[in-house]
Chains A and B, each alone.
Chain A
């Protein structure tokens, strides 16, 4: 890794961390409305100033950052477990079950991902749990296709056939023989997926179909900030910068993991 790259990684990881630490140290409540301090400038106790309701911007940034990251991790966990289970089942059993499950995956992939998530979230109604559900409904597909292809490539290897010959149960083979062997590409998929989900969550919240006020997510903060852009542009700039560096950090992490685990992201095998 070049020196410039290392600096880039450092800055990207540092920025979200710095926000969390600073918010912890300043100890402000991101929900405390103070109408005497609407759009008030920065001070020592409130280093990033106040928003349209006089709330502390730094505290809200820290809250939004945690929410965005939390939703992202939840979606990757649920979507990953669901997708890997479906993919392994499809790859292992083959036949009509495989055909049916992959047809379903194709249908989900026939929508631009963000559009389907927007439509699902809008129909399910507001709320973090519905937001997670909408993103999982789109996010499982990548894991399913990847784990199916991987299982197919290991299905007829000698060590798997030996396990079958020894009378091992299917679940035992899945957990002890298949999963450890297919884990590396799935981990890479998970880290790039996390970056995409974080942007997706913020996008949905920006459009108003995700996290609802008064809760802060980086997306809702950008949404609220754009309305006051002419008066105080920093209300848009800050959440965007934090989101951007978070996504960059996750993407760089994915890049590093791909190189380290030596995975070729090639899903064209059938």
Chain B
């Protein structure tokens, strides 16, 4: 039953990915007027214009372009960068490790802040501690990361000199980007942890456990913790996708050489095939993270397996 539901979820992801690829394909055709004019200017040499038109396959009918694009995606031929003429796929894959590292550290940081904070807030629900924790959470979702980043940089790198300003080479250079990226995640997760914990504590299962004489930390962690974990873990998996969107801005602020920075660099240089590749790969990871969230909650919560 479970394996059948999981495989059906996988199958459902295929048309979604196809839709994503289609939208990314049409991105190039959103460029107003002729993309070749936009790239080279109207005064370019006819030979250069023709070469670029061929490189972007703009000389073909649109359906043929689309078919060529999809078959290229499947075979790993994602086109060539217009700037350095290297394969887009290669340029993307070499940037993945940096983004993966930043995302992993940010997510870990978010969990280590959010779980204790959510627990603390739930334990003291309705009191000052709860208000303080949720105030922090509201602060966290309202603070834009393109401002938090520069402010952290000013205080801890420029002012106090504890950490490097930007880049990836020096030790400790991941700390500020990870805090910048992790803060919003921690805010969302702690809110979720608090409300799920409270909901779990109000459930019949906990009332029954109480009637059997269980109390104290055991009931909070072993009994309610298990119930509360389901939505929190699902939310965590969803955040794994959301972190990729935030990485675009955070990497730009800190000059962190990952996929996000590559996307922005490609946009600034109007390297359209590379922009398409970056957007596609980030969206693909995002779809996979959402799929993982779906499967995790099916696996953890048998109640959701009922059709």
Contact = CB atoms under 8 A, between A and B. Distances in A.
Interface string B244-269: 11101100110000000001100110
Contact of A202 (B19, B144, B245): B144
A203 B267 contact: no
Contacts of A252: 138
Contact of B275 (A111, A119, A195, A237): A119
Contact of B150 (A106, A113, A199, A229): A229
B5 interface: no
A112 interface: yes
Tier of interface size on chain A: 35 or more
B64 interface: no
Interface of A is mostly: helix
B142 A195 contact: yes
Chief secondary structure at chain B's binding surface: helix
Contact of A107 (B20, B249, B252): B20
A122 B242 contact: no
Interface stretch (B28-36, B205-213, B217-225): B28-36
B131 to A, nearest CB: 6
B144 A110 contact: no
Contacts of A115: 244-245, 248, 263, 279, 282-283
A219 B252 CA distance: 14
Interface string A116-132: 10111011110000000
Nearest to A200: B144
Interface in B106-146: 131, 135, 138-139, 141-144, 146
Interface residues of B, number: 50
B27 A120 contact: yes
B192 to A, nearest CB: 13
Interface of B: 15-17, 19-20, 22-24, 27-28, 30-32, 38, 131, 135, 138-139, 141-144, 146-147, 150-151, 153-154, 158, 241-242, 244-246, 248-249, 252-253, 263-264, 267-268, 272, 275, 279, 282-283, 286-287, 290
Interface of A: 2, 4-5, 8, 103-104, 106-108, 110-116, 118-120, 122-125, 195, 199, 202-203, 206-209, 219, 222, 225-226, 229-230, 233, 236-237, 239-240, 243-244, 247-248, 251-252
